[in-house]
Structure 1
Amino acid sequence: MLGRFGKDAGSLVGLEIASDAVRILQVQQRNRRWRVVGSAQEPLHSPLGDDWRGESGLVVAALQRAYRRSGVRQRRVALALSANQVICKLCHLPGERDGAEMEVQLLADAERLFPFPLEDLALDFQALGPSRVQPGCLEVMVAACRQSALASLATVVEEAGLELAAVEVDNIALSRMLPQGCMEGSALLRLETRSVTLYGWQPGKAFLRVELPQDELRASGQLPEHLQALFAEAYLPARLWVASSALIDPGWLQGLSEQLELPCRQLPGLAGLEQVDGSMLLAGALSVGGWQP
């Protein structure tokens, strides 16, 4: 059934369940500036991988502690699935169709688009804008994930005493944090304590999300080599934004630009959120996406 991903708007709490921590953040917007209502980060003392369902009790307890510490009152949360847990397909539909007509057409095409029984899938779509390859059509991103993945998220959130109101793809959520007009052709390198992830947005292509080898990337000189190989083989962005949970050395950033031969810049915060810890980037993006005045 369409409409599960990110459709329930409101002043939602962004929630990220990372391999080493649970992070929550809620924002509000006034006069085109954002402000943090409350936030907290609770470590997971037994670091988890992407599949944490076997340790759901740890996640529930950490989420409860983070929620109490954050000071937020809203119990409706937004979560993200990683793009490698979601099948994303680009479609082109006649531009004059409204949302209901697009939904009917995409449901009719779903069996062709996705190689799984439809009863096992949760589906959603997002119109991206006029198609560059088919004049008069809209480019539409269609996303599908296993119902079981959503059920696991909902169970953990509900056991923590909260309500799962929206689920998104992490690439879509994080694209809100890029400077306005800079999504197409951009890539984002997100440096975390225990993970390094590259996200990309290329016109006419599915989202790029690649986990890079964290141990080697921390060694001097290794990062550019891995990125150069990836860019040469599969993906060449026009610019690379970098977000980190730690301070970024300007000299390292300049060296990265020179070795990759493309502009590398620290990702600026949205107006009012400039001082938010880089580790809270995804939680902030989810809350921003769920905001309505």
Structure 2
Amino acid sequence: MRLMASSKGLIGVDITSATVKLMELRRAGATYQVESYAVRPLREGAVVERRIHDMGEVVDALSRAVQQAKPHTRKAVVAVPTSAAITKTLTLPASLSDEEIEYRIQVDSDKHIPFPFSEVAFDFQRLGLNARYADQQDVLLVACRQQDVNQRTEALFKAGLSPAAVDVETFALERSFSVIQKQLPTDLQDNETIALVDVGATMNTFHVFRSGRIVYSRDTLFGGKQLTEEIKSRYGLSVEEAGLAKKRGGLPDDYKKMLLDPFVDTIAQQVGRSLQLFYTAARKSDIRYVFLAGGSSLVPGLANRISEECSAKVLMANPMLNMEVVGRIDLETLSADAPAMLTSCGLAMRSVS
């Protein structure tokens, strides 16, 4: 499993509990160009807590995404869930070669990896000399179960794509953050502590970034699917119709009071709780900016309610905001999908980083 190496011309593929997202980028001067992208829905239960339970459904959705996007390459990179990966920084003698580092990791695997080494896929990256000891180096170790890698690469193969790398969601998000943080004032981009709230279908995740790295994360099992299901049940709509209505409105007058406001309040309160837990654990400087992302981030009133709850300015996360876009992509649709494309965008950025 290659977690660190990259080559040009990769497609980022993000497989979530509700959708499959595909993003293809290439360098365009100092920025990136969106070459192709697609978002396709998944049937309920196909992916549960980022684990593939129905390979046929995932392959079918990914195949349809490839057909819709018509990417210029078939080389793709996919991510294992952060919860499935182990990352550790090891301190090893600076004189060790790559082969010797790999051997040392294998020999000492029981110290770093909590499952049998025969079931492990791993990779490492040199981080440079240790800050305290000149004869030592820091090495980032990343490992997960081989079955998690095999499952995702199998989905790519069956959809007609060629797996070029397997990444970790955390690393993809950090790459996307390097782009979206440019939405902040210039003097705050490098040293401000920033929060990112990702409101997905079944879960909302609260991340805190410092110096471009995730230093704190908290998941809460509540997401946009709950609101979609309530709209579907109350107004007799299909899942697709309810999902569109959730973002675009056009529902009866009682919708805001009966469904929307309680949903928005619940998400905002959960975000506020995560923020307070971070302050308790970290006791660092206040968070003044929050990026809002995810498929349900565009629900009316959510950004304002989170801003009130956290006493912070809320910005919509759009990793493609300053990117060039090829003419065949509809800009309005891309803008609406952008907050949900952070992981796929971060994966695609490997090809041009």
Q: How high is the TM-score relative to the length of structure 1?
A: 0.82
Contact 2:207 2:214 in 1 (8 A): no
Which residue type is aligned with residue 113 of structure 1?
A: H
- For residues 12 and 99 of structure 2, the distance between their equivalents in structure 1, rounded to whole angstroms, comes to 28
Distance verdict in 2 for CA 1:52–1:85, change over 3 Å? closer
Contact 1:88 1:207 in 2 (8 A): no
Give the counterpart of 2:7 among 6, 9, 18. 9
Q: Aligned residues: percent identity?
A: 22
Distance verdict in 2 for CA 1:177–1:123, change over 3 Å? same
Which residue type is aligned with residue 53 of structure 2?
A: G
Do residues 34 (structure 1) and 28 (structure 2) align? no
Question: Larger deviation: 137-146 or 267-276?
Answer: 267-276
- For residues 237 and 269 of structure 1, the distance between their equivalents in structure 2, rounded to whole angstroms, comes to 27
Question: Larger deviation: 139-148 or 36-45?
Answer: 139-148
Unaligned runs of 5+ in 2: 182-188, 224-261, 325-333
Which residue type is aligned with residue 158 of structure 2?
A: E
- For residues 64 and 58 of structure 2, the distance between their equivalents in structure 1, rounded to whole angstroms, comes to 10
Contact 1:78 1:164 in 2 (8 A): yes
Contact 1:4 1:122 in 2 (8 A): no
Matches within 5 A, 1:132-143: 134-136=132-134, 137-143=136-142
Do residues 254 (structure 1) and 253 (structure 2) align? no
Deviation, 1:233, is 5.0
Higher relative contact order (CA 8 A, sep 6+): 1
Give the counterpart of 2:221 among 213, 231, 244. 213
- For residues 145 and 183 of structure 1, the distance between their equivalents in structure 2, rounded to whole angstroms, comes to 31
Question: Is the partner of 1:36 in helix, strand or coil?
Answer: strand
Distance verdict in 2 for CA 1:61–1:183, change over 3 Å? farther
- For residues 128 and 34 of structure 1, the distance between their equivalents in structure 2, rounded to whole angstroms, comes to 26
Unaligned runs of 5+ in 1: none
Contact 2:50 2:81 in 1 (8 A): no
Do residues 228 (structure 1) and 278 (structure 2) align? no
- For residues 343 and 195 of structure 2, the distance between their equivalents in structure 1, rounded to whole angstroms, comes to 15
Deviation, 1:189, is 1.8
Which has more helix, going by share of residues? Answer: 2
Q: How high is the TM-score relative to the length of structure 2?
A: 0.69
Question: Larger deviation: 121-130 or 211-220?
Answer: 211-220
- For residues 99 and 56 of structure 1, the distance between their equivalents in structure 2, rounded to whole angstroms, comes to 36
Question: Larger deviation: 118-127 or 17-26?
Answer: 118-127
Deviation, 1:99, is 4.5
Question: Larger deviation: 80-89 or 214-223?
Answer: 214-223
Question: Is the partner of 1:176 in helix, strand or coil?
Answer: helix
Contact 1:6 1:290 in 2 (8 A): no
Question: Is the partner of 1:277 in helix, strand or coil?
Answer: helix
State the match for 2:339 in structure 1: 278
Distance verdict in 2 for CA 1:192–1:53, change over 3 Å? closer
Deviation, 1:104, is 4.1
Question: Is the partner of 2:348 in helix, strand or coil?
Answer: helix
Matches within 5 A, 1:169-248: 169-179=168-178, 182=190, 186-200=194-208, 208-214=216-222, 218-220=264-266, 221-235=268-282, 239=287, 240-245=290-295, 246-247=297-298
Deviation, 1:237, is 6.5
Deviation, 1:186, is 4.6
Q: Which has the larger radius of gyration?
A: 2
How many residue pairs match? The answer is 285
Deviation, 1:165, is 1.2
Which residue type is aligned with residue 220 of structure 2?
A: L
